[in-house]
Amino acid sequence: MSDPTIKGLGPAPTSYDGSPFRIAIVHARWNDTVIQALVQGCIAKLKSIGVKDSNIVVKSVPGSYELPFACQRLIEGGKTQSAKSASSMLSSTTNLLSLIDSVGSSTPKDATSPTQTKESQTSAGPSTAPFSAIIAIGCLLKGSTMHFEYICDAVTHGLMRVQLDSGTPVIFGVLTCMTEDQALERAGIGRKGDKGHNHGEDWALAAVEASAQVADWSKGQL
Ligand SMILES: Nc1c(NC[C@H](O)[C@H](O)[C@H](O)CO)[nH]c(=O)[nH]c1=O
Ligand SMILES: CC(=O)[C@@H](O)COP(=O)(O)O
């Protein structure tokens, strides 16, 4: 009988609440059976720990090699969207103030600004905050050339660079497998007896943990 393994992730120091966070998933479409299982597992876990459906943004790219650039652009896109939304809120407020001013010093009963519908006043809508974390999901399978090794290396370093340069955590959800069975087992859909474990769930937990830590640490709350 083989010895039991000591390999694996220890318990988190606390349980993290995902409700304040906006998370992006960028996935490759190569080896799609595995990818679909990983993405679904990841989304289900994000929701189960409180991340709102409307705060999960999913984008795809052809292959894993495209992941670092896509993550970098999406992080920037999230920041741009957030800045635009803040500036449009400011101009709505300015319009509202000038409307109030133009009708005298009393506040109108129905103070809807010309640029703001009643709906946008009452419903919170999807968040336009910058992404708290991004999860890059891919599945690289060894073929008969050196293609696999080069892509594994480039993607690993690329994703690390994106997170250090942007200050936004990038979760490494890229399987680098020698066989199809290794990939299937890591997506929880193994075809031999044990179905394995869906690593997409772990990446969801890592994204929320990193988001919570960055949120606290950036305010000096250690
Ligand atoms: N062989 C795998 C690839 N190859 C495709 C590349 O990632 C890339 O899309 C192409 O070279 C164009 O730039 N991608 C995977 O995700 N998994 C593979 O096993
Ligand atoms: C460029 C390719 O996608 C392909 O030629 C790589 O081949 P392999 O996966 O067998 O190494």
Look at residues 117, 90, 91, 112 and name the one whose alpha carbon lies nearest to residue 100.
Answer: 112
| 9 Cα: distance to centroid of ligand 1 (angstroms) | 29
The number of the ligand 2 atom at minimal distance from the alpha carbon of 147 is 11
| CA dist., res. 119 & res. 190, Å (int) | 47
Catalytic residue list contains 27: no
**Contact residues of ligand 1, CB 6 A cut-off:** 28, 30-31, 62-66, 138-141, 147, 151
| 25 Cα: distance to centroid of ligand 2 (angstroms) | 25
Amino acid 169: pLDDT? 98
The number of the ligand 2 atom at minimal distance from the alpha carbon of 144 is 10
Amino acid 112: pLDDT? 38
Instruction: Pick the catalytic residue from 147, 157, 197, 199.
Output: 147
| CA dist., res. 12 & res. 104, Å (int) | 57
pLDDT at 84 exceeding the cut of 90: no
pLDDT tens for each residue of 180-214:
999 999 999 999 889 999 999 999 999 999 999 99
pLDDT tens for each residue of 143-184:
999 999 999 999 999 999 999 999 999 999 999 999 999 999
What ipTM does this complex have? 0.98
Amino acid 85: pLDDT? 85
Amino acid 173: pLDDT? 98
Q: Which ligand is nearest to the CA of 63?
A: 1
Output the residue whose Cα is nearest ligand 1's atom 6: 63
The CATH number of domain 23-76+129-218 is 3.90.226.10: no
> Do the Cβ atoms of 127 and 22 come closer than 8 Å?
yes
* Domain range summary for the chain, segments of one domain joined by +: 23-76+129-218
Query: CA angle at residue 52 from 32 to 90, to 5 degrees?
Result: 115
**Ordered DSSP codes for 52-74:** -GGGEEEEEESSGGGHHHHHHHH
